[in-house]
Amino acid sequence: MEKLVNLVADLKEKEINKEVDQLLMDGHDPRDILDACRKAVSIVGDRFQNGEYFVPDLVLSGVILNDVFNKVKPKIKSSNENQTLGKVVIGTVEGDVHDIGKNIVNLLLDVNGFQVIDLGVDVPPEEFVRAVKEEKPLVLGLSGLLTLAAQAMKDTVDAIKEAGLRDQVKIIIGGAVADQNLKEFVGADEFGKDAQDAVTFAKKFL
């Protein structure tokens, strides 16, 4: 497993496939393979944080992880839900369809043990309200790239307030549009300047 962790962390895509096939053939528990991948992607996250890795590395690691999941998952017989640290509801706010940043955040939250409920892009405020009501997440993540996302983020937070749910959830804003200024305008709890920040804040709110 140590070898697989290193291969995934080093993004050796071709060798990973062979290694996973070998491990399965040798009778290893598919769940251990998934755990090894999670561990590896968490190393990828650290390397990103340290400036060794960049966005393309994260995108590639997401693809690698997905491929391994798809290969290994059918082989898991009884899938009891993994223990999670907590739920995060996330989405790109209304009017904005950018999702690459959000998807990276999803990946990092997932490998750090959070259960991520992704509402997708161009999500209207009422959809966020519904999800917060039903899922009772620890954290709500609002993503946006464009300036139009500023008002949409504020509208979303206002809708959460009106629904009487603001005290029950921490709100993090992220994406190119997010800064201290916007955090105050929107009424969020934190703003993240990169994907790793989302994990740091989510852990802080545990």
| Binding residues for other proteins (CB under 8 A) | 11, 13, 53-57, 59-60, 63, 95-97, 100, 122, 146-148, 150-151, 176-177, 179, 181-182, 185, 194
Please say which residue, 96 or 110, places its beta carbon nearer to other proteins. 96
Please say which residue, 10 or 135, places its beta carbon nearer to other proteins. 10
Please say which residue, 96 or 189, places its beta carbon nearer to other proteins. 96
Length of the chain in residues, anyone?
206
Please say which residue, 138 or 195, places its beta carbon nearer to other proteins. 195
Backbone angles phi, psi at 73, to 5 degrees: -55, -45
To the nearest whole angstrom, how small is the minimum distance from the Cβ of residue 145 to other proteins? 10
To the nearest whole angstrom, how small is the minimum distance from the Cβ of residue 174 to other proteins? 14
Backbone angles phi, psi at 82, to 5 degrees: -70, 150
Q: Which residues contact 182 (CB under 8 A, 6 or more apart)?
A: 150, 153, 173, 191
Please say which residue, 61 or 112, places its beta carbon nearer to other proteins. 61
To the nearest whole angstrom, how small is the minimum distance from the Cβ of residue 155 to other proteins? 12
Sign of the CA dihedral 34, 136, 98, 112? negative
Query: What stretch of H or E contains 65?
Result: helix 55-72
To the nearest whole angstrom, how small is the minimum distance from the Cβ of residue 90 to other proteins? 18
To the nearest whole angstrom, how small is the minimum distance from the Cβ of residue 139 to other proteins? 23
Distance CA 104, CA 106 (A): 5
Q: CB–CB of 112/86 below 8 Å?
A: no
To the nearest whole angstrom, how small is the minimum distance from the Cβ of residue 103 to other proteins? 9
Please say which residue, 138 or 157, places its beta carbon nearer to other proteins. 157
User: What is the DSSP secondary-structure string of 21-63?
Assistant: HHHHHTT--HHHHHHHHHHHHHHHHHHHHTTSS-HHHHHHHHH
Cα 151–Cα 198–Cα 106 angle in degrees, nearest 5: 90
